[in-house]
Structure 1
Amino acid sequence: MLSIIQAAGWPIWPIIFASIVAVAIIGERLWNLRSSKVCPRDLLPKVLHEHRRGGISADMMSRLQEHSPLGRILVAGLRNIDSSREIMKESIEEAGREVAHGLDRYLTTLGTIASLSPLMGLFGTLVGMIEIFGSNSPTGNNPAQLAHGISIALYNAAFGILVAIPSMIFYRHFRAKVDALVLEMELQALKLVEVVHGERKI
């Protein structure tokens, strides 16, 4: 591997750095965008059960706030449980926007890496082409310099694409995952509002 990096020349280092950042973001998002962590399905039934038993205590609201993103949205509604349906919904929507922004964390960076990696590979290819042309001289070609220029051009192009493809795949996957989680949390919060205001039983 070290010999490949040496053959690819200095333009490979930005691509390697981008690949490390991409892997870190992918791992972090895979862990933190789990449905069980963001929007646990058993949370709303527990909250409604406590509400029917005699109300939500301040201690439970505090634990709910720290429990999950869905918990933070539900707390925003529960704090306005004595207000009108519209006020309760507005507070939930405000908390939902904040939570949705948090779920998008690092995705812009991952999308940027997916877009820029082929360009960094192209830049390395151009550096390699310059090296190739530099191998020509009036006295003839320098075979070592010519081979080095070719390796720079090919390795950088390949590595740029190699980093871009999984980055783009995971970027699109996480975008779809966030949209699905936000929709699920909206439905759960709407159910809370309707149950609290007596518009549905569960």
Structure 2
Amino acid sequence: MLELLIAGGWVMWPILLCSAIALAIIIERFWTLRRSKVLPLDLGDEVRQWAASGRLDPKHIETLRGNSPLGAILAAALEVRHRPREQIKERVEDTGRHQLHRMERFLNTLGTIAGITPLLGLLGTVFGMIRMFLGILTHGVGDASLLAGGIGEALISTAAGLCVAIPALMFYRYFRGRIGEYIVEMEQQVIALLDTLESVPQPGSVSPTPRPRRPAAAAPGVAG
């Protein structure tokens, strides 16, 4: 392995650094974006039961906010549950943008690595070809070792760049897709919670009392 790094030239070192960063990001995102951590099982049903029974106090909501990204979004809806539905949706959207930013953490870096490592490999290829032609210019075509060294540097750096870029791009797309699925499920949970809140009578609301019907007046000329 060390011989390949040396043979690939100095471009191999930034490629190796990019591979280490990409591996760390992939492991961290796999751990952070677990379904049990983002969308805990039965959390939405439990919160809807709280809302339906009226067991909602600040301590419950604060605990829910720190539970998970889904919990933070549901807590944002419960905090303003007495407001109109449109205002609740605005608060949920604001909180959702913050949670989305957290879930997409480091993904831009992973995508950048997927984009620059092939370019680094191509740069190594260019330097390898330059080295080869300079060797031909200085020593002629009779020295095969110089030609082999330049071609080897070009091929090794290109292969290394692609070996880093392909998995990085694959996991970048995978994590973006997973986050998209989570967002859709969160929206479904929020809609279900809003429907539950609308079905629960709000404190202070008085149900309208039906007015007694007045007896119809007798038509004139009709005997009682």
* TM-score category (smaller protein): over 0.9
Q: Deviation of residue 101 (structure 1)?
A: 1.6
Q: Match of 2:26?
A: 26
Asked if the contact 1:70–1:185 (Cα under 8 Å) also holds between the matched residues in 2, the reply is: yes
- Matched-pair identity in %: 42
Q: Which amino acid is 1:127 matched to?
A: F
User: Which stretch has the larger CA shift, 140-149 or 73-82?
Assistant: 140-149
> CA 1:138/1:163 → structure 2, altered by over 3 Å: closer, same or farther?
closer
Q: Which residue of structure 2 lines up, in the alignment, with residue 125 of structure 1?
A: 125
Letter in 1 for 2:194: V
The structure with more radius of gyration: 2
TM-score, with structure 1 as normaliser: 0.92
Where does structure 2 lack aligned partners over 5 or more consecutive residues?
201-224
Alignment coverage as a number of residue pairs: 199
User: Could you say what the CA RMSD is over the residues aligned between the two structures, in angstroms?
Assistant: 1.6
Could you say which residue in structure 2 is the equivalent of 1:162? 163
Distance 1:139-1:60 versus aligned 2 partners, 3 A rule: closer
Separation of aligned partners in 2, 1:113 and 1:139: 38
Determine if contact 2:38/2:70 at 8 Å carries over to the other structure: yes
Please, what TM-score do these two structures have when normalized by structure 2?
0.84
Write the deviation string for residues 106-128 of structure 1: whole angstroms up to 9, x where unpaired: 11111111111111100000010
Contact 1:110 1:167 in 2 (8 A): yes
Could you tell me whether the CA contact under 8 Å between 2:52 and 2:196 is conserved in 1? no
2:30 maps to amino acid: L
How far apart in 1 are the matches of 2:90 and 2:55?
Answer: 21
3-state SS, counterpart of residue 13 of structure 1: helix
Aligned twin of 1:74: 74
Q: Does the Cα contact within 8 Å between 2:51 and 2:196 map onto a contact in 1? A: no
Change (3 A) 1:139 1:149: closer
Residue segments in structure 1 that go unaligned for 5+ positions in a row: none
* Equivalence for 1:51: 51
Give the corresponding residue for 1:144: 145
| Deviation, structure 1 residue 139 | 4.9
Counterpart CA distance in 2 for 1:56 and 1:37 is 23
Deviation at 1:138, TM superposition (A): 5.5
Between Structure 1 and Structure 2, the one with more helix by share is: 1
Q: CA-to-partner distance for each residue in 1:131-164, whole Å, 9 max, x for gaps?
A: 1012124553444333221221010010011111
AA of the residue aligned to 1:135: G
